[in-house]
Amino acid sequence: MARGREDTVIVELGHFALVTALAAAFIQTIIPLIGAARDDARWIAVARPAALAQFGFVAAAFLALIIAHVDNDFSVLNVVQNSHSAKPLLYRISGVWGNHEGSMVLWLQILTLFGAGVALFGSELRPAFQARVLSVMGALGIAFGLFILLTSNPFARVADPPLDGMGLNPVLQDPGLAFHPPVLYTGYVGLAVSFAFAVAALIEGRVDAVWARWVRPWTLAAWTALTVGIAMGSWWAYYELGWGGWWAWDPVENASFVPWLVATALIHSVIVVERREALKTWTVLLAILAFSMSLLGTFLVRSGVLTSVHAFATDPARGVAILLILGVFIGGALALYAWRAPRLAQGGLFAIVSREGALIANNVVLAACAAAVLLATLYPLIAQTLLGRTISVGAPVFEFFFPPMIALALALLPVGVALPWKRGNLHIMSLRLRFAAAAAIGLVALTLAFVSASAWTVFVGLLLAAWVAAGTAFDWSERTKLGRDAFGVTIARAIGLPRATWGMVIAHFGLAICTLGIVVDSTWKQEDAVLLKPGQSVPAIGYTLTLEKIEPRVPHENYTSTRATLRFDRDAKTVLVLHPERRFFALQQTVTTEAAITTTFLRDIYATLGEQRGDQWIVRVQWRPLVAFIWIGALTMAFGGMVSLSDRRYRLGVPMRSRRRPVEVAAE
């Protein structure tokens, strides 16, 4: 009984902490904003402690919810609906955010963490500007704090607590749940900082190189987390769902991919503002749109308007509440942009043929890709609402329009890197890239000499991957003057390159690796589905496949499994043995498929055990060449982002005032 009273106190304290965090968010929003408008230093100074207080109170509430799950406190409705006493500790902890209510607390926790980061590490910002940024972050805290408390209270109680809970969705009982949502949310929510900087800049009427220098690392941090989160989700789907795919163009997958595309454009655009003080209004718009797409993704996951295997909730009332938040913040930001942006004087003139011009082309292509994916994702909803027709937009539609669009972005990448700032020359640029083009064509020709290609699209895909890699290598060699100086001098020059430059090189190489993995796996993968009795052998994916045995009802902590032993032979020798499973969760009366995968650097062999038909079993096996390159490339891109973040300019902060003349709003 004492333990029960202790749990009750912790839950009530958590609920109280959430309410107190909301009060802190109101203070963080209102007082600093008024203080910045009145240039009152005392009111401005409230922003930082209020942001830290809001973070602390949300952290206390989040910790209380974790304790309730770990302790199996079935007086809390959220614990009853999403936990069970037999569930392993890892899934009791990660199950906190494996549901709508808990995931929203995690969302708010990450938002306040970023707010606290701006408060702690933004001391070099002008106080009034920092106050405005934190005020916008506080307003987001108000919106989502009210949303949680009024529609999604994680501390709601049960009048008559049951002896045990309903358990967690078996598909979510995987280590992926412990890491994928927090990392993905860090990317989603991290874009709120770029949004807050954009809104604060519009309020002040100041956009300059200093502003860009501050926005860039926060955007890079969010982009890096979003890249890792998407890659982790793709890998989780690959090994957990049993179909062997790594991307299905599911609406919620798209809802994470669209902000990633916009954030990628924003990273490149903010470089132009930092280096040339050009593209100011466009960059501010991208910062608004990137977070807008994150909020839209939150709406799609929780409203039930689109069917998805990733959906957390299907409550229309919650969807309406999130739609209201979307309308207030995104509509308000765009209205502010329409009013203030035209008054921002533009600077940094440049020729069309220049690095700035190439970055604009990059931005246009990425923005078009994001818009096309978003439109195709929402088209079923639009058709149902406006036309009364039920239309399905599947993977073939996305695979028809997206590859040509992204191919253009890949083709432009080495061109942009090779061009100088302000003014370039196409002839000189072509001479500089001729070796990269020759290397790319040679690599593709060598590849196709050993493997067959069924379509010209394969050649184009391989050529683009090689082109990006060769162009990136050429750019690095130009920066280090490889081959033109002594080797030791080249190494010293390479070591002396800014980390932001190293990060760019690494990220571009990662993109080439990821592209190569996508093209090769999509083109040359093999798959066979066979019916086998125990002891029977058949040819499959270039091996002799034998179902050696089936082990039924193998006991585990919270499920039983049917376990197969598959032997792969070649030339009368056993190459490998795999053990795919079908897992039965008695509590939920659910069967899941657990794939068995063996991975080498060059290929995966993937096996799943299907349903039983009489005395035979359905066995699916796949040979996936270079599929691991997809995730290696994505993680390499993210590593490049982290290297850029470690650049000394971003670790030490930037001056409070730009050396260039700040851009002010024209007089009314």
Domain presence at residue 658: no
Domain boundaries, position 534: 526-625
Does the pLDDT at position 346 exceed 70?
no
Confidence of residue 380 (pLDDT cuts 50, 70, 90): confident
Does the pLDDT at position 109 exceed 70?
yes
Same domain, 367 and 284: yes
Same domain, 198 and 279: yes
User: Which residues neighbour 338 within 8 Å (Cβ) at sequence distance 6 or greater?
Assistant: none
Tokens 């007086």 belong to: 75
- The CA distance from 27 to 142, in Å, is 10
- The CA distance from 357 to 601, in Å, is 38
Tokens 């595309």 belong to: 261
Q: What DSSP string runs through 577-621?
A: EE--EEEEETTTTEEEEE-EEEE-SSEEEEEEEEEEETTEEEEEE
Domain presence at residue 648: no
Same domain, 513 and 543: no
Same domain, 267 and 370: yes
In 3D space, the residue among 413, 292, 422, 127 whose CA is nearest the CA of residue 284 turns out to be: 292
Domain presence at residue 156: yes
User: Which residues neighbour 462 within 8 Å (Cβ) at sequence distance 6 or greater?
Assistant: 443, 444, 447, 448, 516, 519, 520
Does the pLDDT at position 13 exceed 50?
yes
The dihedrals phi and psi of 578, each to the nearest 5 degrees, come to -120, 155
Confidence of residue 454 (pLDDT cuts 50, 70, 90): low
Q: How many domains does the chain have?
A: 4
Domain presence at residue 646: no
Does the pLDDT at position 507 exceed 90?
yes
Domain presence at residue 364: yes
Predicted confidence at residue 2, as pLDDT, reads: 40
Same domain, 167 and 210: no
Same domain, 495 and 534: no
Same domain, 162 and 252: no
Query: Mean pLDDT of all residues in the chain?
Result: 88
Say what percent of the chain tops pLDDT 90. 56
Sign of CA dihedral 668, 331, 189, 380: negative
Same domain, 379 and 432: no
Among 385, 401, 422, give the residue marking a domain's end: 422
Domain presence at residue 510: yes
Q: What global pTM score does this model have? A: 0.91
Confidence of residue 161 (pLDDT cuts 50, 70, 90): confident
Same domain, 22 and 119: yes
- pLDDT tens across 544-593, in order? 999 999 998 888 777 889 999 999 999 889 999 999 999 988 777 888 88
CB half-sphere exposure, 350, CA atoms < 13 A: 26
Confidence of residue 467 (pLDDT cuts 50, 70, 90): very high
Domain presence at residue 632: no
Same domain, 418 and 434: no
Same domain, 86 and 125: yes
Among 492, 523, 554, give the residue marking a domain's end: 523
Among 523, 547, 578, give the residue marking a domain's end: 523
Same domain, 410 and 549: no
Confidence of residue 124 (pLDDT cuts 50, 70, 90): confident
- The CA distance from 169 to 173, in Å, is 7
- The CA distance from 119 to 594, in Å, is 45
Domain presence at residue 638: no
